[in-house]
Structures are given as C-alpha cells and as structure tokens.
Chain A
Amino acid sequence: MSMTATAGRAHADPHHIGLVIEHPGPAPKRIVTAYGFWIFLLSDIVMFSCFFAAYAVLADQTAGGPKGSEIFEQRNVAIETVCLLLSSFTCGMASIAADVRNRFWFYLGMAVTCLLGLIFLVIEFREFADLVARGYGPSRSAFLTAFFSLVGCHGLHVSAGILWLLTMMAQVFAKGFRADVLRRMMCFALFWHALDIVWVGVFSVVYLLGSGV
C-alpha cells in the first residue's frame, strides 16, 4: 500500500472508525429504472400538491355559486373510492402474476384493473357532465375552477394509466415477460398505486372536508 492510497482512505474515514463501506459500483438496471421512476412520481406528487394548494386557497371563493356541500354526492365518491382501492389490489395481483410469469392471472388482473379504472372514470365524467349541465362548470367560480382542475388532473392521470395498462397487456402478449417489459410493468404498478394515494388525498381534502361545510 502506498502513501497516497492510505491518505485517500483516511480521508474517507476522518474519525478513524476503521470502517469504510466501499461503494460496490453501478446498480443493476432494475433498481435504476425503479429508482428513476420513484423520482418521477415524487415530481408528479409535487405537481398535484400545487393543485391541492390552489384548491385550499380558492375553496371558499364561490362567487355566489354553489358550495362543495351542495354539489358533492357522497355515494358516488364512495363507489369511486372502492373502485380505485380494489384496482390497486388487482394491479398488485397482476404484478405478482408477472413475477411468476403466469399469463392467465396477469391478463385477468390487468383486465379487472382496467375495468375498475374505467368505472371510476365514467362516474367522474358523469359527475362533471352533470355539474356543467346545471351551470356549475369550472368557469362559474374560482372554487369550481380549483375543484375541476384538481379532480380532473387526477382523472387525466387515471386515463393515461389505462392507456399505459393496455399497452402493457399488448406488450406482454407480443413480447412475453421479457426483462424490459417486466421493468415497465413495475413502473406501471408504482404509477397506479401512486394515483391511489393521490386519490386518498383528493377524497379527504375535497369530498370529506368539503361535504362538511
């Protein structure tokens, strides 16, 4: 061992604990991909938090229009919530099926996830259409602006998720459980679960708190 090498080690261990954990080198692709996608999800949640903040600021600005408690239908929201939470479960099943390379359960899990997602979207769309028909569109007041944007942003994410889901099913059909397909599947699952978490926020902040006032 030369002097410099020792000096280098000493520098990495200034308190002379005698324990320097050497970094083992670049992480495998699966880790890198999932890690990067986590970072993306964090950034996406930051974006959602802006819409949450805007909603919090504008929630009372009804400009003579309806308040939240006058337009929210808790029964619909309950069904939406059940659909999304269940879809997270079925998405998890599909992920496990992909891990054990079981096509049947993979397709079934994904199909049910897709169906639940679509039910969610249909209910949301009908809620929006109904509000617009009653003259309570996003242009009516700042409160409705913030409401439509926050809930709609989540809805757009779910729509994009369904597009992705169908692409994943097609990929597995065409390419099988290849390593890169499995990595994408892992990212999709993360995305879908993250949307669920965001929905929990939407459900609590918009519908639960809003119905009270």
Chain B
Amino acid sequence: MLGKLDWSAIPFDQPIPLIAGGVVLVGILAVLAWVVVKGHLPYLWHEWITSVDHKRIGVMYILLASVMLLRGGSDAIMMRIQQAVAYQSQGYLPPEHYNQIFSAHGTIMIFFVAMPFVIGLMNLIVPLQLGVRDVAFPTLNSVGFWLTATGALLVNLSLVIGEFARTGWLAFPPLSELSYSPGVGVDYYAWSLQISGVGTLVAGINLVTTVLKLRTKGMNYLRMPMFCWTTLASNLLIVAAFPILTATLAMLLLDRYLGFHFFTNEAGGNVMMFMNLIWAWGHPEVYILVLPAFGIFSEVVSTFSGKALFGYRSMVLATMAICVISFMVWLHHFFTMGAGPDVNAIFGIASMIIAIPTGVKIYNWLFTMYGGRIRFETPMLWSIGFMVTFIIGGLTGVLVAVPPADFILHNSMFLVAHFHNVIIGGVLFGAFAGFEYWFPKAFGFRLNDRWGKLAFWFTFLGFYVTFIPLYVAGMLGMTRRMQHYDVAAWRPWMLVAAVGMAVLTIGVICQIVQIVVSIRNREALRDRTGDPWDGRSLEWATSSPPPVFNFAFNPDVRGEDAYWDMKAHAKQQSLDHDTPEYQDIEMPRNSPTGFVCAFFATVMGFALIWHIWWMVILGGIGAFATFVVFAWRDHDEYVIPADEVAAIDRVNLEERRNLVSMAGTV
C-alpha cells in the first residue's frame, strides 16, 4: 500500500534531524496558523500564490532562496564544527549523517539558493529593464516557480522522512547505484532535481523568449542594459544545459528503478559516461549562476559611479564568449580520468581561455569606476568586495586548470576553497548586491544602510577567515568530505575556519536584522520617486513598487542607458507635458495552475521515491487534468480601464516631476 514507507523511515534514534525537523515543522505550522487566524489566506492566495505577475514571482523565488540559504547555511555550520572537533575523534556527527549533510549542503546551495536567487532577480527586473509588461509566458512562469519550490520541499522532507543522499552533491555512480546506496536518499536527490529542473527549464525558455521577442520600441540589442544581456546568455545556457541534467538523472533513475546498466559496474555500464554527462551540464551551470551576477555588478558599478558602463560592446562580447566557451571546458572536472595528455591539454587551455573574457569584464568595471563619482552604498560595497574576492578565486581556478597541478589538488580542500571563493565571492555577493540594489524597486522602501554595511563587512571578512585556511589545508594534503582526520597539521586551519564561519554567521544575522529594522522603519525609508539611486535603466522609470502593468505607455528607447537619457532630456525641456492619452491595458489573469501542478508534482515525486505506484498514477492524472483545465478556460486576460491607468500613472508622474524640478534647482 505505501511502498517502502513505514515507521522506520522516521529517524527516532537520531536527535539532530528529528529536532531540526520538529522545529521547522512547528515553525511552518505556526506561520500557517497565524496566516489563517489573521485572515491573510485570501490575500496570499489571490495576490501571491496564484499570481502570474513577474515581479511577485521574482519576489517569491528570492524568498525561497533566502529560506533555503538558512537551511544550507546550517549545514555549513555543522560541517565546520565537525571538522574543527573531529581531530583524532569521531566528532559529534556520525559518518552516515555527515555524508548526508555535505550532500544536502551542496545540492541546496546550488539548486535551491543560487538558482532561485538569480532567477528571481532576473524575473523581477528584466521585463522592467526591457520596458515591457510581463514575461513571454506568465502562467508558465508561475508553474516554473512552484516546481522549484516542490523540489526544495522534497529535499527538506528527506530530513524527517527517510534520509538524503550520502553521495555528494552530484551523486556519482557507482556509489549512487542501487547496490551501494540502497536507501531512498539518492531517490530524494534525483527526483527533487528532476522536478525543480523542469521548473528551471521553463524559466529559461521564458526568459530567453522574453529578451529576444519582447523588447519595447527602440530597445535594440545593443541598447539593452548589461543585466539583460547576461540574462540572455545565462538562460541560453539553461536551455542548452538543463536537458543534459534531466537526461543524466533519468539514466541514473532507470539504473536504480528498472535495473538498467548505464553506469553500473556490471554488464558493460560506463561510470565515466556519468562524469562526462553530469559535468557537461555542471560546468555551464556555474556560468548560469555567475553571468547574471556579472550583469548585476555591471548595473551597480555604472549607477554608483554615475557613468555609463565602460566598454559596453566588449562586455557584450565577453558575455557571449563565456556563454559559448563554458560548454568546452567540462573535462577539467576530471583530468584524473586519464583521457591522455592531448585531451587534458585542450581542456586545460580552454579553461584558461575563459579567464580572458572574465578579465575583460573586471577591467571594464574598474574603468567604469575610474573618473566616476563613486557612492559607496551597500550594493557598491558588495560589488567591490566581489572584484577583489573573485580575482583570487579566478586565479586559483586558472591554477587548477593546469592538469599537472590538478592531479595533486584534485578533490582536495584547495578545490573546495576555490569553488566557494568564486561562488560566494561571485554569485552570492552578486545576489546580495542585486537584493540591496533592487529591494526599493520591489517594495517601495530602501533597506537600512548601517546594517547593510555591517552585513557586508562581516560576510566579507568571515569569508576570508573561513576559506583561506581551506586553501592551506588543501595544500597540506587534506582531501574534501572528511568526517574525521588524524593529521595534526590540518587542525589549526580547521579551527580558524570554524571561527570564520562564526563571523559569516554574524553577517547573516546582520542581514536578517537589516530586513527587520527596515520593515519597521519603512515610512522613513520610503522611496517616493521610483528612482532612489539615480539609476540609468528603465526599471527606475516607473514607480516603486511598479504598478501591475509596469508602464502606462511602452517606453520609447533612443539609446543605451534609456532612463538616464530621458532624465537628461526632461531637465532640458520644459516640464509641462501634455496630458497623455491613456488606453486600456490587457493583463494576464491570475491562475492557480502553477500551484496545483506543483501539488501533484509533490505527490508524484514523493510516491516515486517511496515506490507507492498507485499514488504516482494519481499524481500523473492530476497533473494532466490541471493542464487540460487550464487549456479550457475562456478568459485568460482582464482589462485595466484607461481611467484607472491614468489615475495610477498621474501619481507617479507627479512625484517624478517634483524630483526633476528639485534636481533642476540644485
């Protein structure tokens, strides 16, 4: 009846996951109870859960990422403590539990923190920057988000029902095959990634189509803000790379469920095929994450330097070069496979070549700052911190791109330090910069400055104190994923890293305090102009938060830095515009399709993990029925009458004129 599921799936004998799961469960129930009692449920349902507004969906993506960041961060704290104490002892985490933690940490941080964070920011901002009303496929956008949430839910469910994979974040066979991992851990891993992978693919298709087909009048390719370019590149990579992940995990699942022999040791299966396939997705994946961050830095550096981005065209070229070359370097993840000197040399050189367009970008940002009037606001601090940190991470990357060096450093803590250096220094700093920069746009008030800067400095210092010791430990021969060790020379570095983790944790706490303080003081921090940073691109041309239709009129773009141009224009011309002729606006109607789909996907995923076949069929039928019902509806749009548009837009214009006339008098 319930497949493999019985009471032994609940880890009554392991206090840590049980207590953690219990606390989370109580937390969720408390929030739900509060929502229901306070009567917020209808609001949540109509305004958020069923919303197809790209801004709302973007915010929900970022919320999901933030919550999961806390989960993945807790895993990180546990690992640092374990390695600090587990010198010539077992520490406090038994091996099977420690293995689950590092696997969950990697999986969560990449798939459910970094991905939703950047996809959320792209969703929120790109349509605004392009001057359009929504993404290409609003309902699919909602489906994509909720499927991502489903994946996150399944991963967290594994904490209390069953177990998570003990295989590392990419579940390499033969360890991940049924004969070596008979439990449900790998199945939790694979199904949650399959489901959220569909969500990511949907988001990728959506954003590619949006950038290529839905730009406002005059928004030629070479006038797009850099964030739109990096979004395009990143989503092209999603479209090209995520199907590889889907296929690879499908093969692993076929091996596990139906006794196929893709990656088994027996019957001719080929383990190295898994490595090749998974990294053919995995390497583009890191550029999927970091390219949008590059875009964010471009916007931030240019805005806070008060200058147009230096070398716009070279930046476009560098972005697209990275997009292409990122597909030609995957083998550097396993130089030790023994492909021979020729193959290793080619992939080593390709990996070093990719540093060139990245270097171009760094110089472009530096030259943008050169001669600019720089304002050291919080987003700018994250950007400068990124430049310093990312260069170090990039250089250690070039080092391990040299095959002979890699043979020594492969799978060592040096590698762990390297990729945390680029992912934290690149993606996470970028996400935080974007968060601080666009928060006023999304919510209509700024974030507290003091706590933001504190958060930056603690995170920045904490990062170095945590990860520089890991470089050293790697050089001293420490391999990754060690539950305990007996080498005295590594011990001090692990202790320093644990201290660094504490500093990082203070950084995270500062960020939480910043949000709480800012929400409480929101009236004082209110942004009435829609343009709190003196921005340059179109998202600042509308109010904060933008109306549901974003722009009353499709903006007419005349060059790069469209909004900067408009502002310069407005200062020169007289301000008494004619009252514009407002028109009705058609917007897509909200739809529960995404949420209902995700519900059935959750049911189906859970049933597949536990081999509850009747429930699988039920979930499948439910998902198909949802699509048919969606396809059957007659009205997918509603009209906002011209009067309403006019009323909303006039308020916005009034504030804006005040701003411009004030600027004119200064």
Report which A residues bind B (CB closer than 8 A). 2, 4-5, 7-9, 11-12, 14, 20-27, 31-33, 35-36, 39-40, 42-44, 46-47, 50-51, 53-54, 57-58, 61-63, 138-143, 145-146, 148-149, 163, 167, 171, 174-175, 180, 184
Contact = CB atoms under 8 A, between A and B. Distances in A.
Given A43-B239, A138-B260, A149-B254, A26 B216 contact: yes
Contacts, number: 176
A54 B276 CA distance: 10
Interface of B: 132, 136-137, 201, 204-206, 208-209, 212-223, 239-244, 246-248, 250-251, 254, 258-262, 264, 266-270, 273, 277, 313, 554, 557-561, 565, 568-569, 572-573, 624, 628, 631-632, 634, 636
A53 B220 contact: no
Q: Is the interface of B mostly helix, strand, loop or mixed?
A: helix
B239 A8 contact: no
15 contacts: A2-B573, A4-B572, A11-B223, A23-B221, A43-B201, A51-B247, A57-B273, A61-B267, A61-B270, A62-B268, A140-B267, A142-B261, A142-B262, A163-B624, A167-B628
Given A22-B218, A36-B136, A12 B559 contact: yes
The 3 closest A-B pairs by CB, nearest first: A8-B559, A61-B268, A142-B268
B132 A26 contact: yes
B455 to A, nearest CB: 37
Given A12-B223, A22-B217, A142-B270, A39 B209 contact: yes
Contact of B213 (A2, A27, A57, A58): A27
Nearest to A140: B267
A145 B206 contact: no
Contacts of A21: 220
Given A14-B313, A139-B259, 10 more contacts: A8-B223, A8-B561, A22-B220, A43-B242, A46-B244, A58-B261, A62-B268, A139-B258, A148-B260, A149-B260
A12 B224 CA distance: 11
A70 B216 CA distance: 59
A180 to B, nearest CB: 7
Contact of A32 (B136, B219, B241, B250): B136
* Chain B CB within 10 Å, residue with most, of A5, A53, A54, A148: A54
A24 B206 CA distance: 20
Given A138-B260, A139-B260, A142-B267, A7 B559 contact: yes
Contacts of B248: 50
Given A26-B213, A142-B267, A36 B206 contact: yes
Contacts of A5: 558-559, 565, 569
A160 to B, nearest CB: 10
A138 B262 CA distance: 10
A171 B248 CA distance: 35
Contact of B565 (A8, A58, A148, A180): A8
A47 B247 contact: yes
Contact of B243 (A2, A43, A163): A43
Contacts of B631: 167, 171, 184
B220 A23 contact: yes
A21 B222 CA distance: 11
Nearest to B258: A138
Nearest to A42: B239
A47 B281 CA distance: 11
A145 B217 contact: no
Contacts of B209: 32, 35-36, 39
Given A4-B565, A50-B244, A12 B220 contact: yes
A128 B39 CA distance: 56
